[in-house]
Structure 1
Amino acid sequence: MLQVLGLSQRSETVYRAMLRRPDRGVAALASDTGLSEDKVREALDELASLELLKPSAQEAGVLRPVSPTVGLTALLANAEAQAATQQARVESTRAAIASIAAEHDHPYDHDRALRLEGLDAVRARLEVLQRATEFECLSLNPGGAHRPDARQAATPLNEEALRRGVTIRAVCRESFRNDADTLEYARWLTGHGGHMRTVPTVPIQMIVVDRKAAIVPLDPAAPRAGALEIHTPGTVSALCALFEQVWEHGIPFGEESPTDLNGCTPTERSLLQIIAAGDTDETAARQLGVSLRTVRRMMSSLMERLEAGSRFQAGLNAAKRGWL
C-alpha cells in the first residue's frame, strides 16, 4: 500500500508491527511478522533511511518508530513533489510534440525563422526585440559567469524594459554565485524589479520575448557563433514550457538552497543524477559549472553518507534509498 512512498511491503509490515509494540527487538519482530531476522534488519535499515525510525531518547542503541502523522506525511509530500515534476515533464513533452507537429504541417515555412550569424548580429537583433518587448522577457543562462561585455550590453536594455513594466525572469546556474561581477549584476537586476532563480544545471541557452519570438544558439557548444530567431508558435510554446519547468524548480536569488528529506542540496542531487547516468567527474564539473576538485569533494561526502565504497555502489544505494 505504501510502495508509492518508497516503502517496501516488508518494511511496511515491520513498521506496523513496531507501531503496535515499540519495545520489540529484532527477534520479537521476526516472530511477530513471520520474517527472518536478516529480513527484519534489512527492513529496519530501510525504515531508518526513510527517517521512519529515530534513536530513543531513553535507551541508548534503541530505535523507536516515528509517528505516521509525521513520518508518512513527509514521505507523501515528497512523493507528491515528484509526481508534480513528472507531470511538468509530461506537459513539456506535450508541447514538444505540438511543436514537431506544427513544423511538419509547414515544412517549407522558412519565413518563420531568422538565422543570425555571429555575436554582433545576435546582439543587434536582441536590442531590437527587447526595445519592442511589451510584457515579458524570459531567459535561460547555462553559463557560469556572465562576460563583462554581455552585462554591459544587457544592463541598459533591461533597465529600460523594467521601467516600461516589462517582467524579466532569468534562470542561471547555481555556480554563477562564485563570480563577483555576475553576483553584483544579479543584485542589480533583482533590486530593480527583475526576477532571478538558480538551478544546478541549465539545459540550454535561450531568450523568449513576449512568448512570440525565441532566440536559441545555432550550436550550444559555441554560443558566440550565432543564433536562430524562431517565431513558429509550436516551437516557441515548447520553449516556454521548458522555461517554466526549469523556473519551477529554481531557488529565488537571495535564498539559501534547501536540503531535501535526505539532507541533499539541489546541486548534490544533480551530481548524483549525472554520476548515476554513467558520466565522468569531468562531465559533472562542466555541467555544474564547478571545479573538478569541488565535484570530487562533493562525491566523497555523498559516498560517505551513502555508506558506499565506490561510485557505482553510491548510485545503487542512492536509488535504493530514494535519493534519486
Structure 2
Amino acid sequence: MDGMPDSAWSGTGLDPLGGRVLEYLVTVASADSAQVAEAVGVSVATAEAALRELVEASLALRVGGGSARWAAGPPRASLGALLARRRAELAGAEALVERLHEVYQEVSGPRAAHVVEILEHEEEVSARYSQLLKGSTSEVLHLAKPPYVAGPRAAARDLDVSDGVRMRSVYETDGFTDAVSLETALRGTAEGGHLRLASRLPVKLVVFDRTAALLPVRGDRPAAGSLVVHSPALVEALVALYESVWERAVPVSLAGLREELGPAHGDAVPGSAARPAVPDARTREILHLMATGMKDDTIARVLRVSRRTVQKHVSEAGAVLGARTRFQIALLAAEHGWLEGRP
C-alpha cells in the first residue's frame, strides 16, 4: 500500500507503524486486528498495540459489539488537532532555546572578551596594532605578507617599537617587493631586528611579548576584520607555529645586499648627496605597481601602456639605481623614497 513516507509521520509525533496502520484504516470502513496486522505486515499483537495508541491519540476508534474492530476518525480533524499540539510544543521549545541563548551570551560574553577580541573595521585594526606594538617590552614576532589592511601610510607610521624590543620577521618571498614590506624590513633590521624569507606563509600574524597575538579573521580577505588573541594556550600555539616557520625560513641580511650593490649605492640613504634624482611620474607609478607584486603584463593593462614601455621604465630605473634585479630595484626605490605616496 502506497502512503506517506515514514519521515513525514515523524513530523506529527506519530511513529511510522502507527502511521501505516492509520493509512490502512482510512481505506476501509472498519477492520479487526488480524486484518490490520496482515495489511501492514506485523504480528497481531503488534498491530493491536499500534491500534491502542491511535485510539489514545483520538486518531482511531473501536467499533462493533462482539469482536473488536477499529475504524479511522476523520483525518483532517483528528490529525489537525495533533499537528496543532505539535506546533504549540515546537513554539515552546523555540522560546526555551532563545532564553537559554540569552543566558549563555550574558555569561559567556564577558569571558570571551578576555580570550579573543574581534576587530571589525580597518581603523580598529590599525589602532590596536599600534597600541600593542608600542606596549611591547621584550619581543615581537611577525609573519608578513600583503595585502595590508591598514594601508602603507598607517603601517609605516606604526613601525616604531620601544628600545630593547627584539623584532623577528618572516616575509613571504613573493610579496617582499611590497613597499611597506621593504620599509618595515629596513627599519626593523636597522634597529637590531632579524629578517628571514619563506616561500609561503600559513597566515599573517604578529605576536606581542608572547602574551597577545593579532591575526586576520580570513586570510584571503584581510579587510574582513582581525582577532586579538589573549588566551595563553592559543598564544602559545601560535608562537609554536611561528617558531616552526622561522626555523625553515632563509636568513636575509639587507646590509649584505647593500654591500653587493656596491659602495655607491650601499651607503646611499634618502637625503644624502648620493641620492639619485627622483624619476618622472610614469616611472614612479610603474615602480609603485611593481612593488605590490604586479607582473609587467598586469601593470601594462592597468596603465594602458605596452609591456615594452613598462620594461623600459623599469630598466631605466635599474640603471639609475645600479640594481640588477627587480628585487634590488624595489628595495633601493623604497630606500630613496620613490615609493612614498602616489605620483
Same fold? TM cut 0.5: no
Name the TM-score, length of structure 1 as normaliser: 0.42
Name the TM-score, length of structure 2 as normaliser: 0.39
Rg: which structure is higher? 2
Structure with larger RCO (C-alpha < 8 A, sep 6+): 1
